Structure 1
Amino acid sequence: MQFRVLGPPEVVRNGRVVPLGGPKQQALLALFLLRPNRFVAADWLVDALWDARPPASAPTTLRTYVAGLRRAVEPQRSHREPARVLRSHPRGYELRVDSDAVDAIRFAGLVDRAADALAAGQAAAAERTYTEALALWRGDPLAGVAELAAVRPEAARLAELRLSAEEGRLTAAVAAGRHATLLPELCRFVSANPLREGARAQLMLALYRSGRQTEALAVFDEGRRILAGEYGLDPGEQIRAVHRLILEQAVPPDRSSPAEVAGPAAAGRPAPPERDGGPLVGRDAELERLRETLDAATGHGGRVLTLVGEAGIGKTSLAAALGARAAATGVPVVWGRCPDVGQAPPFWLWSQVVRALVAMPQTGATGSAGRLGGFAAGAPTGPADGRGLDPTARFQVYEAVAELVHAAARERGLLVVLDDLHAADPDSLLLLRFLAAALPASRALVVATLRPYDDDPALVATVAELARGSGFGQVRLAGLDAAAVADLVRDRTGEAPPEPVVTRLVTRTGGNPFFLTELLRSRTGPGAGAELPPSIRDTVRLRLAGLPGPTRRCLDLLGVAGHDLDLAVLAAALDSTPEAVADDLAPAYPAALVVETGPGALAFRHPLIAEVTYAELVPPRRAALHARLAAAYEQSAGTSPAELAHHYGEAVGLGHGEDHLRWSLRAADDATRRVAYEDALGHLERAALRLAPAARVTPDAAVTELTVQLHRAALLQMTVGVGSDAVDRVCARARELLTLVGPDADIRHALWALGELAANRAEFAICADLAGRLVRAPDDGSGLIAVAGEYLLGAIGYFTGRQAEGERRLTAGIDRLRTVDRTLLRREVGRRPVLACHNFRALVRSMRGDPAGAWADIAAAEALAEELDDPYGRANAALYAAWLAMQEHDVAAADAAGRRCRDIGRATGLPHMTATGAYFLEWAAARGGDPGRLDAMRAAAEEFYRPGLRSTRTITLCAMAEAYLSGGRPDTAATLAEEALALADRVGERVFVAELHRIRGAARRDRAEWDLGARIAADQGAALLLPRFAAF
């Protein structure tokens, strides 16, 4: 008879479930099974059955339930026979059962057996036993009665035991090498039980062994966030150990305990660390040297070679590649690994090597194999493994290991790889030093990988002694160069990466293969600014975590700086001295975290380290460090205004708003001088945001913001485009500010900017009013105010068809401009609207029949731009040259000038110029006889008007209409001419009204229209146009 509680309580006899009666009778059985083979008081049963609220009839009812339960479990017993299963005692009862008759007891025994098998390394057997145990379950424990207070603790205990068994089965399956097929189940289990760190650790191992290291580390991060966020706890030691193993790439191979770092497989077969299968990129020279060293060792005498480099630089991969080459030529390969998880046990490194060597057939007959049984079995400390011995006995163990190596190498040579020697225990280092002296008489090569070791006296002494040996070699690995990084990206993605992508990757990672590979694997991709994958974040965190507090404080500030930093600035920011800071930073150099960039200056080895360091800072501390660094920069010379603006901007919440504003304005001026217009706009936008939110704008603040907005307007005209909607929005704010600045404020520059905007928006009456005020205003000392007024009035003259007035005004402006100091002009480039006096006079002179004078003005505009070193001025001169050529129907000149305009725009980041130049090229092609380019011309025009320019539209429409007419499409020409004429009537842009009538007249064969155009051209003094009316 079997009793079941791993589900609803049941009794099974001869394979059949015995009816137990009602719920109370089932609950009574469960209560007895909580205490099998023990006396159970009737009073306790009464309280338990009725949850401490029994009715007065409860004792009598209990006896009834007991009688019913007896009939169920002993149906053959007569009334006179004493009960053998459910026995009565004074004041209570006892349920007598065999221990293996209760499924819960059998389950616990099987779980213990499985755990013992797993601990003994019998993973497959453990999995089978766990599976057998879990098969006993039929549902929730004690289902149907678990709500009783007396039953709840046992139900919870059984449920926990079930989860532990599930976890154990998954652990055994992972250890048995079934991680690939088990991943979906592991993911579901961890998702359902996020606090079970053992299962989470197994999921990490399974993902890692499936080549998904980044996801493995993300699983750890998720668990850490849950523990910290919900309970304020850190992960436990077990999962942290697995995490470290993954970061160190020291995860044991399959079929070994997670706590064990296994040595090589039996018979000396190579067991290199798992790699992702990709080729070894960029290490041809280093691998060739290793191959030569292996050949020399196996042919002419053993030796030691060390591979030195920072974490992730590819030391282990290079050693594994050598191991693969050795194995392919018949040379046995054995590995020993030192996981960087704290002090390893004595001889831990060599115990792995010895276990592999003892398993080789060629060493079995040596006496040394027997003397090193403790190494081979991994036994506890004792004489057989060399631990705790007196010097003489220890020396004998050293000799036995050396003899074993000689024996293993005698036939075909031997490669011994000691991975991560920097983490080795002192005893292992001493044994290596002893062995090195004996290697020349053998055919063995020992390759040790280790990180920079300058700060470790034991390693320094070890390598120094190894270097005295015959044939010693050392290879120091640096980051991959750009060509190798490009190869790696191509291998991972299947596509050749663009050069800028390669450059960013090299800069960001320093060519570190681990960082590169993880960035390429990550979902966000390798782009700058992309979130770092957990594998990289955690690797850097691990390296930072071991640093002393003063060192970490220095690195925090270096992370806030984001680039190299002088010790003097670092010391000032830390209220220290350069000498003290230098001492504090000392541990960071051997940890391969920082490098010297110049005398007294340092930086992080990779920008990735700076990213992680910065991200680890909590926001208040981050802001405080920004403020400290900004204050230190102000005390030193040479810091750019942009850098100071950035740091004060990050510390605004600490009361540095005014500092941020001050340096943002200086940064905008500096960027404008450097023709970095986009940067300048960024600084100005941040300054405007800093000023605008005030509930009540004071006159002084309004003046400051007005200056900012006018500077923005000037830059937007050059970058986005003259008359664009972006300029309009900024000028709308400027108009608001004009009402707030107070009566004494100087608004002349505002009038200039608003007048320029009005001209470009085809609001010619508004522009004329503002320009007249500028002409009448007193000079501000620069001489530019009156020039601006005359220039705007001259431009209006051109647009409205009053060419004589336009030339008079523009000539007056040019005469005044000649008297302006060129240094002042150069300083104002980008700060004020462009003064295109020569450019517009060229158009006016052309229209009045003076082409020589027109092209002379274009040459003068080009010369002025060169004199001021003004890239926008150069592009603008090319634009007006193309405009002039288009006006004169000079296709070749328009093509050449349009190309210059486009190319300068591309080279200097002026999209408006790029788009306008592209239009002129399409016009020249279409007007030059290629009707296939007509529609492309129209599309190009739409593109450069897209930002919002209103003026010049009738001019462009006229040029396109004429091109369509010449291209044999008179209907389209007439339609465009009608559109332009309607627009000219609305806005007053009449410069090409005569030409538009000519085109429409020609397209429709309308002589009256043609003659109207001729009269208008004569009235305007448009000598350029009159010859075009000679023949209808």
Structure 2
Amino acid sequence: MARGVCGREVGFCALLPGGHVVRFAILGPLRVERDGVEVPVGGPRQRDLLALLLVRPNRVLTADWLADALWDGRPPASAAVTLRTHVAGLRRALEPGRGHRAPAELLRGHAGGYELAVPPDAVDAVRFTALADDAAAALAAGDAPLAEHRYRAALALWRGEVAVGLAAVRADVAGLVEARLVAREGLGTAAVALGRHHEVLPDLRRFVTDHPEREHARGQLMLALYRAGRQTEALAVYDEGRRVLLDEHGVTPGEPLRALHRRILAQDVPALVTPPRAVVVPGARQAVVPPAPPRDRHDAPAPPPATAAAPRAVEADGVRVVGRERELAVLDGVLVAARHAGGRVVAVVGEAGIGKTSLARVVGARAAAAGTPVVWARCPDIGQTPPFWLWTQVVRALSPDGVEPALAGFTGPFAVDRADRVDPSARFRAYDAVAALVHAAAADAGLVLVLDDLHAADPDSLLLLRYLAPTLHTSRALVVATLRPYEHDPDVVAALADVARSPGHRRVHPAGLDADAVADLVRGHTGSTPSAAAVDRLVTRTGGNPFFLTELLTSPEDPPPSIRDTVRRRLHALDDATRDCLDLLSVAGRDLDVAAVGTPSPAADHLVTETAPGVVGFRHPLFAEATYADLSPTRRAALHARLADTAGGLLTPAELAHHYGRARDRAAEHLRWTLEAAEDATRRLAFEDALTHLDRAAGLLTDPAGKLAAHLRRVALLQITVGVGSDAVAEAAAPAHHLLARLGGARPADLAATLWTLGELACNRADFPLAADLATRLLAMDGDALTRTAAHYLLGVTAYFAGRLADAEDHLTTALDHLDERLLRGQTGRRPTLAVHEFRALVRSLRGLDAQPDLAAARALAERTDDPYGRANAELFAGWAALQEHDVAAAERAARECRGIGVRGHMAHFVTTGDFFAEWAALRRGDAAGPAAVRAAADGIYRLGLRATRTITVAALADAHLVAGHVEQAAALADEGLTNARALGEHVLTAELHRVRGLATGDAHDLDTGRAIARAQGAHLLAARFD
């Protein structure tokens, strides 16, 4: 480890053998530096892989987890091979000097996984955490100057948003974002403590405006305003916060903020600030809270300090309850109201396992802790509950001796028989006696009666509850009834209807736990924080049901035996037709029309439900999984085939491919529907889904021509989703090279498609001789109009980059002459890009002609052929034309369009290119953030692997720097561009580069050379700049 070599005051780096220093940054755009020089780390998947490793450094991450994370839970069949390829690429980038057989120092392989082995402080996120922790400790110790210094150093490491967008590490990223907010709050606290309230007021205002729910920051803003002599504004800030918390979250400010408000009202804020106290939250980082005001000897005891985030878990009677803050708030309010404003009934209604009894236990524990007696009565769900069994338990607990004669039937050894024989008048005397007993028991300290599983209560017990409920408001008793949905039971419906009319009645419906609560539950069982993807999967499988979640987390089997056995027991009680219906529904994996699976009998209502008119589905995905697990392999395969054969009209192509893939001896249908699923996804512009289906189809195909077609489709889709000329596209095109050699007497259409695809890739990878050769072979074929169009298009593109503008215009015009628009309809994602109008616009621009008619024609063609990618491409080329013509306003328009298109369509190439257009225009106007930002935006275009157009962006950068007066940078960039032009054969703007260098250095020879080149090319736009 080496300190201080990374250009940061408090910087650490990884020191490799040979003295090489490597530094990693994810607090902003992903960046790797080796010996101070940025290291290109490959295409998007490779960068995502590195980001995953950086978020969790020095930990072995399994290959399965990495694949799942990289493809967001849907890894293709080739994921393992692709992952190894990306690992090898990262190793080459990070340790270029490592011998082939030498062990990797940084990205180490382990059995079943990989580890990024670096000193923790080599990663900026880890350095940030350490600095922020030091700052918080210093602030807690009263050392405000050191705290401020550390906070500033920590926050200076952030260069933008965290560069990791994968769902698998969403929780990790959220933790970093939260830590940044805490650090910003801490910095404000330290500054106010040092008396610099005037200085930090603007920052505090912005922070509170952006994060109105953060009470500590609001308190610091109030304090700063008060110390600045603006007491009225400080009070207004409090009122605004109180409204926000109440309106949006249903809560009032915490005691620390209320205390500060009271002191400001009383003008009792000390002139000097007491250092904030550190509040330790188990399992969490320290949070800083404002100091408590001095207590007068008559004050009530101060409440415990509020923390930055209250823990979500509640322990009671050995039960850990998470994610029930809202429900417990209601129950706590009812508990207090029952003791002080009259008794009442609260019904907790929810499905089995949702946590009804756990909530009742928490309420009971809290009541007992406050000195209130708690009595439990349970209704066993066995179908033969004795009469009055619920109240028999209550009476025995409250009056074990049975002194009252009317209660004798509830307390003796033969209570059930005597209760069953009472006459009507005795029955009402018993009701009244039970009510009196409850009232008496609640008189002194209140009373909580928990009636658990009320849906299973006998009719007599329900009648007694209906008698008692209207009388409770004159007592201090709270009845907490837990029950499952009861709409099918008329006795329970009637009882709850009467109870609902009693004073103070409330009903609580606990739903499935949300993602945060599920993560808390997982942490409680495993001790580690789950990934966001894992949490999402658990929520989907269980619906957030706490019992199901606990069983999944604690059982070594999946599905857990407890759930599987419960479902199996219920399945075996069904008739054959209903069982067949549920078996077929479990194979479907989703809700289905009853026309496809049949109508289940009412006996299956506890497992399935009507989710929409005529549509049936399992109540929980786990029920479906358990049902599926109970099927033999032979029956599963038969049901998959039967569903695909009989319900085809109700299933999507992807679903048909799935079911035929799991049937036996249906390979032909599996392949057919896999290809159709790719077509369907492409039609819906779901290009990532289409790629997944094509990956699968490539593995199923056996004939070279079919494999070739699948690979060519993958290349066309990757051009859209990843970016033209990217490494991913080149990787996907590699099999096409090999298959082309094996085709021999291939169909002309297959050969033409291959030549076109590989020619397009060669253009984007700046391999112009190869592109010209492939285009010439394509032109020599006796192909259709589209083949001739493609051939002339590729020849026109290579001529443009070579600077042969007349040839380029001839070929592109010929391509348009051959173009048959009918062949383009519905072809997005099925063939390479055909940007004939767009390239002719660039050619005509350089020749001094108007480019706008061709750009308008490109937009119109995209509209007529319904080509969304063509629409996007027209805007992209409008930006390139603006660069050539130095049209700042047009570049700004193109930047806005490209960014919007890229974000909406998930096309990174358009976003990065739009960013460059915007930065170039800003530099040209003289208001750019700085040369580094412009260069970073330019480099962003090529990080994915694109090689063509590099001299165009460098020429635009060089000219912008020249206009801005940065002559040394302009000359250096022109040198770089000319070097690239020679290396790539990309001579289209060589004249411009000579012009910029000549003006920057005062070299007349450069100017003469550039003028001559422009005239020879017929680039009248460039030639005019020499006059």
The TM-score, its normalising length taken from structure 1, stands at 0.59
Q: Which runs of 5+ in 2 are unaligned?
A: 1-314, 524-528
Distance 2:501 2:365 in 1: 22
- In structure 2, what is the Cα distance between the partners aligned to 1:553 and 1:795? 62
What residue in structure 2 maps to residue 760 of structure 1?
764
Q: Aligned in 2, Cα 1:460/1:1018: closer, same or farther, shift over 3 Å? A: same
Matched residue pairs, number?
694
Which of 646, 662, 666 lines up with 2:658 in the alignment?
A: 646
Task: Give the one of 566, 585, 603 matched to 1:542.
Answer: 566
Deviations 1:502-555 (Å, cap 9, x if unpaired)?
996998389766379869x979xxxxxxx9999998557635643435555544
1:582 corresponds to which residue?
A: 600
Alignment partner, residue 136 of structure 1: none
Higher deviation after alignment, 670-679 or 954-963:
954-963
- Distance in 2 between the 1:648 and 1:723 partners? 36
> 1:165-188, CA deviations, whole angstroms, 9 ceiling, x for partnerless residues?
xxxxxxxxxxxxxxxxxxxxxxxx
Q: Deviations over 1:780-807 (max 9, x none)?
A: 3xx3222212211211221111111111
Residues 412/717 of structure 1: CA separation in 2 closer, same or farther (3 Å cut) = closer
Q: CA deviation at 1:939?
A: 2.1
Please identify, of 319-328 and 711-720, the stretch whose mean Cα deviation from structure 2 is larger: 319-328
Equivalences for residues 215-254 of structure 1 within 5 A? none
Contact persistence 1:882–1:897 (CA under 8 A): yes
Q: Give the 3 Å change call, closer, same or farther, for CA 989–454 of structure 1 in structure 2.
A: same
1:690 aligns to what?
700
Q: Distance in 1 between matches of 2:1025 and 2:439?
A: 100
Q: How many Å separate the matches in 1 of 2:506 and 2:608?
A: 21
Give SS of 2:376's match.
Answer: strand
Partner of 2:546: 514
What does residue 862 of structure 2 align with? 865
The Cα of 1:901 is off from its aligned counterpart by: 0.9
Instruction: Choose which of 381, 385, 404 in structure 2 pairs with 1:366.
Output: 404
Q: 2:436 matched to which residue of 1?
A: 406
Which AA in structure 1 matches 2:642? R
Please name the residue that 2:73 is paired with. none
Q: Of the candidates 358, 377, 387, which is equivalent to residue 336 of structure 1?
A: 377
Deviation readout 1:373-400 (Å, 9 max, x if unpaired): 54xxxxxxx43x4359983599979966
The aligned residue for residue 734 of structure 1 is 736
Out of 639-648 and 598-607, give the one that drifted further: 598-607
C-alpha offsets along residues 152-204 of structure 1, whole Å, 9 cap, x if unaligned?
xxxxxxxxxxxxxxxxxxxxxxxxxxxxxxxxxxxxxxxxxxxxxxxxxxxxx
Q: Which residue in the other structure is 1:715 paired with?
A: 717
- Summarize the Cα distance change of 1:393–1:329 in structure 2 as closer, same or farther, 3 Å threshold: farther
Q: Structure 1 CA distance, aligned partners of 2:715 and 2:558? A: 44
Q: Which residue of 1 aligns with 2:42?
A: none
| Candidates 770, 778, 782, aligned match of 2:774 | 770
Q: Kindly indicate whether residue 612 of structure 2 is the aligned counterpart of residue 594 of structure 1.
A: no
Counterpart-to-counterpart distance in 1, 2:881 and 2:760: 21
Cα deviation for residue 687 of structure 1 reads 0.8
1:275-314 deviations in whole A, cap 9, x for unaligned? 5466854459976997899799968xxx987654312445
Q: Indicate whether 1:792 and 2:791 are aligned.
A: no
Amino acid at match of 1:366: E
Deviation at 1:732, TM superposition (A): 2.6
Say which SS state the counterpart of residue 886 (structure 2) adopts. Answer: coil
CA RMSD of aligned residues (A): 4.5
Would the alpha carbon gap of residues 295 and 552 (structure 1) be closer, same or farther in structure 2, given more than 3 Å must change?
Answer: farther
Change (3 A) 1:704 1:437: same
Which residue number corresponds to residue 820 of structure 1?
A: 821
Q: Does 1:1014 align with 2:1018?
A: no
What secondary structure, in the 3-state scheme, does the structure 2 residue paired with 1:602 have? strand
Aligned residue for 1:988? Answer: 985
The 8 Å contact of residues 366 and 407 in structure 1, kept in 2 or not, is answered as no
Corresponding residue for residue 563 of structure 1: 590
The alignment status of 1:355 with 2:396, answered yes or no, reads yes
> Contact between 1:297 and 1:445, CA under 8 Å: does it hold in 2?
no
Q: 1:393 to 1:564 in 2, by over 3 A?
A: same
Aligned mates of 1:545, 1:566 — CA distance in 2? 26
Q: Is the 8 A contact 2:321 2:358 kept in 1?
A: no
For residues 500 and 747 of structure 2, what CA distance do their matches in structure 1 show? 86
Structure 1 CA distance for aligned equivalents of residues 945 and 471 of structure 2: 85
Matched residue, 2:135? none
Tell me how far apart the structure 2 counterparts of residues 770 and 671 of structure 1 sit (CA, whole Å): 30
Q: 1:342 to 1:789 in 2, by over 3 A?
A: same
Say whether 1:911 aligns with 2:881.
no
Amino acid in structure 1 at the alignment position of 2:404: T
How many Å separate the matches in 2 of 1:944 and 1:616? Answer: 53
1:61-88 deviation per Cα after TM superposition (whole angstroms, max 9, x unaligned): xxxxxxxxxxxxxxxxxxxxxxxxxxxx
Question: How far off its partner does 1:897 sit?
Answer: 0.5
Contact 1:508 1:608 in 2 (8 A): no
- 2:886 is aligned, of 878, 884, 889, to 889
Cα pair distance change 1:825/1:704, threshold 3 Å: same
Following superposition, the deviation at residue 662 of structure 1 comes to 0.9
Task: Classify 1:537/1:801 alpha carbon distance in 2 versus 1 (closer, same or farther; 3 Å).
Answer: farther
User: Which residue identity does 1:751 align to in structure 2?
Assistant: L
Quote the Cα distance in structure 1 between the aligned partners of 2:1014 and 2:882: 19
**Higher relative contact order, structure no. (Cα contacts within 8 Å, ≥ 6 residues apart):** 2
AA of the residue aligned to 1:597:
T
Structure 2 CA distance for aligned equivalents of residues 493 and 743 of structure 1 = 59
**TM superposition shift of 1:1019:** 0.6
How far did residue 918 of structure 1 move? Answer: 1.6
Change (3 A) 1:795 1:469: closer
Deviates more, 1:339-348 or 1:311-320: 339-348
- Shift, 1:779, TM fit: 4.2
Mapped partners of 1:402, 1:289: distance in 2 = 28
Which structure has the larger Rg?
1
Return the letter of the residue paired with 1:416. L
Query: Given the alignment of the two structures, is residue 626 of structure 1 paired with residue 653 of structure 2, yes or no?
Result: no
Q: 2:987 aligns to what SS in structure 1?
A: coil
* 1:225-624 matches, cutoff 5 A: 276=320, 280-283=324-327, 307-313=348-354, 315-316=356-357, 333-338=374-379, 349-358=390-399, 365-367=403-405, 373-374=411-412, 382-383=413-414, 385-386=415-416, 391=421, 403-410=433-440, 412=442, 416-423=449-456, 429-433=459-463, 436=466, 448-453=481-486, 460-461=490-491, 464=494, 478=509, 480=511, 508=540, 514=546, 538=562, 542=566, 545-547=569-571, 548=573, 550=576, 551=578, 554-570=581-597, 578=598, 581-583=599-601, 586-589=602-605, 591=606, 593-607=607-621, 609-610=623-624, 622-624=636-638
**Distance (Å, rounded) in 2 between the aligned partners of 1:567 and 1:515:** 30
Question: For the Cα contact (< 8 Å) 1:1000–1:1009, is it kept in 2?
Answer: yes
SS of 1:869's equivalent in the other structure is coil
Identity rate, percent: 48
Contact kept, 8 Å, 1:386 with 1:394, in 2: the verdict is no
Contact 2:587–2:636 at 8 Å: present in 1 too? Answer: yes
Q: For 1:546, what is the secondary structure of its paired residue?
A: helix
Q: Which amino acid aligns with 1:451?
A: R
Write out aligned runs for 1:743-754 (5 A).
743=745, 745-746=747-748, 747-754=751-758
What is the CA–CA distance in structure 1 between the aligned matches of 2:420 and 2:800, rounded to whole Å? 106
Question: Displacement, 1:605?
Answer: 3.2
8 Å CA contact 1:518–1:533 kept in 2: the answer is: no
Distance between the aligned counterparts of 2:1012 and 2:723, measured in 1? Answer: 35
Cα offset for 1:725? 2.4
Q: Is the 8 A contact 2:327 2:510 kept in 1?
A: no
How far off its partner does 1:320 sit?
5.9
C-alpha distance in structure 1 between counterparts of 2:800 and 2:493, whole Å: 84
Give the deviation of 1:893 after TM superposition.
Answer: 1.6
